[in-house]
C-alpha cells in the first residue's frame, strides 16, 4: 500500500462518507466499467461538486494504491485534513459534559488508528490527538480502516505531546491512561466531565513521561493466557465504559 500518499482515499464507503462530509477532492478515479449502486451515488455527488472524474483500468488503480482492495474507486484528496489543536480543544469544550477526547501516544499502525477513530466517532468523542513523529497519521489505510469515521472525527497532530497534555489539563480535563501494570480496573474511575483517554504504542504502551501526566491509570482485566489486547480493542472497551457513565451523568 502506498503509505507515502496521504492524499489518496479508496474504497466505496470511505469515499462516499468523505464526499458527504464535504472533504475537498482534487479528482476521482473510477475503474472502467464500474457502475451501479453506491458508485453511481458517488459519481452524482462528484458531478454536483464539480470534481473531475477519470476512468482508469483496474491495473492502474492497483498500482496507484498498492492494493487490490480499492473496490474500483480512488479519490485524490487535498491531503490529510488535520485540525489545529487549539481549535479542536475549543470545539470539544462545547460538548455536553465538557471535552471528551482520545489521545494516541505512539500508535504506529494506521489500521489501529483507523479502528480507534471509528470507535471514538461512534461514542461521540470530540476528537483525536496524535503526535507528529513516530506515530501513524491520516493515511489511505487509516481512512479505510475507519470506515469513513475520519471524515467526521477531528484529528489534531501535535509536535509536542507533553505540551498538549498540559493544555488539556489546563482546560480542566482529567487524563485517563491505559496501563497494564495499574492496580485500578477501568471500571473503577469516573469518566464523567472533561476527559481525555490515552492509549499507547501497540507493544510498549504509554511512555513513562505520558504516564506521569495521567491523573488515573487503568487496566483491563486479562483472565486468559495472553496478557494484552490489541490497542483498538482496548480502546473500544474503555471508550464504551466512558460513554455508559457519561450517558447516566
Question: pLDDT digits over 101-114, tens only?
Answer: 999 999 999 999 99
Paired with 8 in beta bridges are: 76
Which cell goes with 31? Answer: 475503474
Q: What's the rounded Cα separation, in Å, for the pair 158 and 132?
A: 5
List of domains in the chain: 8-77 (3.30.1330.30), 85-247 (3.40.1280.10)
Phi, psi of 90 (to 5 degrees): -65, -45
Which cell goes with 2? Answer: 502506498
DSSP per-residue string spanning 161-180: HHHHHHHHHHTTPEEEEE-T
Q: Report the half-sphere exposure of 207 (CA within 13 A, side-chain side).
A: 13
Is residue 1 scored above 50 in pLDDT? no
Question: pLDDT digits over 85-144, tens only?
Answer: 999 999 999 998 999 999 999 999 999 999 999 999 999 999 999 999 889 988 878 888
Other C-beta atoms lying within 10 Å of the C-beta of residue 205 = 21
End-to-end CA distance of the chain: 44
For 48, counting Cβ atoms within 10 Å of its Cβ (0-12 exposed, 13-18 middle, 19+ buried), the class is exposed
pTM to 2 decimal places: 0.80
CA 185 from centroid of its chain's CA atoms: 25
Q: What's the rounded Cα separation, in Å, for the pair 64 and 1?
A: 9
> In which band, very low, low, confident or very high, does the pLDDT at 80 lie, cut at 50, 70 and 90?
low
Q: Let me know: does 105 contact 200? Beta carbons within 8 Å.
A: yes
Q: Let me know: does 88 contact 63? Beta carbons within 8 Å.
A: no
Question: pLDDT digits over 159-205, tens only?
Answer: 999 999 999 999 999 999 999 999 999 999 999 999 999 999 998 99
Strand, coil or helix: 58: helix
Amino acid at each position: 500500500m502506498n503509505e507515502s500518499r496521504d492524499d489518496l482515499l479508496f474504497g466505496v464507503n470511505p469515499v462516499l462518507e468523505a464526499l458527504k462530509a464535504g472533504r475537498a477532492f482534487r479528482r476521482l478515479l473510477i475503474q472502467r466499467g464500474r457502475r451501479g449502486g453506491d458508485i453511481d451515488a458517488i459519481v452524482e455527488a462528484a458531478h454536483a461538486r464539480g470534481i473531475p472524474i477519470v476512468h482508469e483500468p483496474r491495473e492502474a488503480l492497483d498500482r496507484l494504491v498498492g492494493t487490490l482492495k480499492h473496490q474500483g474507486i480512488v479519490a485524490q484528496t487535498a491531503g490529510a485534513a488535520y485540525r489545529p489543536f487549539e481549535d479542536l480543544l475549543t470545539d470539544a469544550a462545547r460538548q455536553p459534559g465538557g471535552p471528551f477526547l482520545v489521545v494516541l501516544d505512539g500508535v504506529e499502525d494506521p489500521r489501529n488508528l483507523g479502528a480507534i477513530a471509528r470507535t471514538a466517532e461512534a461514542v461521540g468523542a470530540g476528537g483525536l490527538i496524535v503526535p507528529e513523529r513516530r506515530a501513524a497519521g491520516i493515511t489511505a489505510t487509516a481512512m479505510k480502516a475507519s470506515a469513513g469515521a475520519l471524515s467526521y472525527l477531528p484529528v489534531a497532530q501535535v509536535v509536542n505531546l507533553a505540551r498538549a497534555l498540559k493544555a488539556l489539563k489546563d482546560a480542566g480535563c482529567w487524563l485517563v491512561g491505559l496501563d497494564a501494570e495499574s492496580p485500578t480496573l477501568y471500571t473503577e474511575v469516573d469518566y464523567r466531565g472533561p476527559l481525555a483517554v490515552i492509549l499507547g504504542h501497540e507493544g510498549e504502551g504509554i511512555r513513562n513521561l505520558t504516564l506521569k501526566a495521567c491523573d488515573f491509570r487503568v487496566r483491563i482485566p486479562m483472565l486468559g493466557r495472553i496478557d494484552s489486547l490489541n490497542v483498538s480493542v482496548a480502546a473500544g472497551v474503555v471508550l464504551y465504559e466512558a460513554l455508559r457513565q457519561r450517558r447516566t451523568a
